[in-house]
Amino acid sequence: MTSLNQSILTLILLVPLAGAVLVALLPDRGKLPNWIALATTLVTFLLTLHLPTHFVTSQSGFQFERNIPWIENPAIFYHVGVDGLSLWLVVLVGLLAPSGVVAGWNAIQTRRKVYYALFLVQQTAMFGVFISLDLMLYYGFWELSLVPMAILIAMYGRKDGPAAALKFFLFTFIPSAPLLVAILWLYAKTGTFNFADVQHQIAIGNLPAGALFWVALAFLFAFAVKVPVFPLHGWLADTYNEAPVALAMVVAGKLGLYSMFRFHVGLFPAQSRAIAPLLIALAVIGILYGACLALVQRDFWRLMAFAALSHLSLIVLAIYGLTFLGWAGGVYQILSHGVVDGALFLLLGALEVRFASTLIDSYGGLAAKLPRTATYFVIASLAMIGLPMLSGFIGEFIILSSTFAGVSRPWAVAATVAVILGAAYMLSLVQKIFYGPESTLTASKPSADLGFGELAILTPLVILMLVMGVAPTLWLNTIRTGVHPPQQSSQQQASQQPAPTAQSSVILSGGRPAAAIEGPGTNAVILSDRSNAAGVEGLPALKGHDFSRAVADTRYETASAAEGRFSSSVILSGGRPPRRTAAVEGPALAFRNAGPPTKASSEAAR
């Protein structure tokens, strides 16, 4: 099992690549490329399931790690690994790949081997982006993900594929040039492409802050276009409208959002915090802008494009809110969005194949003819708008509540309006396509309901929406181990908060001196084991009390209620119940948000 753990990520990379080579070499006869691609994606998905089943949540850092020298000069390593942030995204790509194959089963009628070979190369590139821990290796996979997409959009576009492919390529490729320059600059300054090493060099201040601003901006620009972040979404609607269904499932969101988590905020926390207010504003504008445009669309692919802009902007809001809860909700929402959008794209693609139209008004009354399609579509739509008990609700609720409590109440309220707009455009889409009077198009084209292959893919996705809605901890427990939003320094926090008085907080230390307390100093009283507060001004209630054993999950409004021997970690708040102390590690508590020491605290410490 140890050897498999070491090679599992390499296998996940190589299996779809080997499948692409096999499809390219074999003749394009009948459905042979389809079957090879389906078998390859199913095997790859099974391999990805090894990751969550053998991931150790109590272990910090990256797991299933492999670090092998590749190119000597410059020093590029084959360095891969996953943590709680990337693990489920790898599984998501593996899950959606068979859905993409089934979506193109009847839609792709010509040059199947080219289509499925490039599709499998695209899967390899996406896996590579999520597992790469060497910046140059990451960049190689990032660029590789653009090429198959552009070629397939040009080849299989519905109306004007080449123009949409050119727009997509220019929008996403041009920002990659400054990204490459920024990566090379980091290598020149640090001598390494290793993510952890570069992160450490930046954290300890070895790189000039002025230059880092522009380097961080180059990273952000590439990722913001790829998400896309408003107003860099000019390529999105045309790409959704022209791309094959399988490619539309993966074109937006996942790569850019993950890269923001890992390579923008993860590498440049100070620069990310500085630009966060702007990105929060752009995210909320994108949420509302996308939802409003989705309301007025007549083509269901364009509606899905602007709905995606709205939902992806919500995740951007979570990322740059820079709260732990918001980050966990953001990653969860990426997973939910991938599952829900995968189901909706498969269903809309099935309708397009059957009725050869993407115009919403040309449909009507389909529920009577295609009851299974209508049922699955309604469930997926309710999950998309965030109905409780379904997957979409969990991520949205966590993001909006964390924004309201820890970022900005006005921005949170504005973003919440999009939930109402989302319900409006999705329920309107359901009503126009499946209910109401039967249209001329649906009456003139008798069509079969969902077949076995489509049901075999859609049923697990719908079940997953339900399970994610009622048991989110199955995913969140792992996700929490990998999300580490940057925290303000002690000096920043102290500058934003009033200095506490001697009566506001007391730190009781089991024999540890004041020097052991983290932070620049403390205005609280530090009591050593078996000492008392006699002579400490303003704290008469503490006089004569000893503290020599730990107290956890206990509430004290005044020190006089804490009679006895309590030493390890007790916080006594002046007039308010103290914080719970069960999570305090060690015999003393680090009191970070403190001002300069007072005479009273110094005497007590001595």
Cis peptide before 228 (omega within 30 of 0): yes
Residues 189 and 170 in one domain: yes
Count the residues in the chain: 606
Nearest by Cα to 44 from 112, 142, 145, 119: 119
Domain final position from 264, 279, 294? 264
Cβ atoms 289, 414 nearer than 8 A: no
Residues 421 and 511 in one domain: no
Task: Name beta bridge partners: 68.
Answer: 78
Question: Which 3 state secondary structure label does DSSP give 277?
Answer: helix
Residues 2 and 47 in one domain: yes
Q: How far apart are CA 20 and CA 118, in angstroms?
A: 7
Residues 196 and 76 in one domain: yes
Residues 581 and 597 in one domain: yes
* Locus of tokens 């990105």: 279
Residues 555 and 571 in one domain: yes
Residues 183 and 321 in one domain: no
Which pLDDT value is given to residue 186? Answer: 94
Residues 286 and 370 in one domain: yes
User: Which residues of the chain carry a pLDDT beneath 70?
Assistant: 1, 251-252, 488-606
Which pLDDT value is given to residue 567? Answer: 33
Predicted structure pTM score:
0.78
Q: Find the helix packing angle between 452-470 and 324-355, rounded to 10°.
A: 160
Domain final position from 232, 249, 264? 264
Phi-psi region of 520 (alpha: psi -120 to 50; beta: other; left: phi over 0): alpha
Which pLDDT value is given to residue 209? Answer: 86
Cis peptide before 540 (omega within 30 of 0): no
Q: How far apart are CA 421 and CA 434, in angstroms?
A: 20
Q: How far apart are CA 446 and CA 256, in angstroms?
A: 41
Residues 471 and 547 in one domain: no
User: Cα-Cα-Cα-Cα dihedral of 512, 518, 520, 524, to 10°?
Assistant: -60
Which pLDDT value is given to residue 68? Answer: 92
Residues 356 and 504 in one domain: no
Q: Which residues contact 560 (CB under 8 A, 6 or more apart)?
A: 541, 545
Radius of gyration, alpha carbons of the chain: 28
* Locus of tokens 């952890």: 196
Residues 60 and 103 in one domain: yes
Structural domain tally of the chain?
Answer: 3
Nearest by Cα to 62 from 48, 49, 51, 71: 51
Q: How far apart are CA 525 and CA 504, in angstroms?
A: 9
Which pLDDT value is given to residue 550? Answer: 32
Domain final position from 487, 506, 537? 487
Q: How far apart are CA 116 and CA 243, in angstroms?
A: 14
Residues 5 and 114 in one domain: yes
Residue 45 dihedral angles phi and psi, to the nearest 5°: -60, -40
Provide the token pair at 17. 């690549």
Residue span of the structural domain in which 508 resides:
495-606
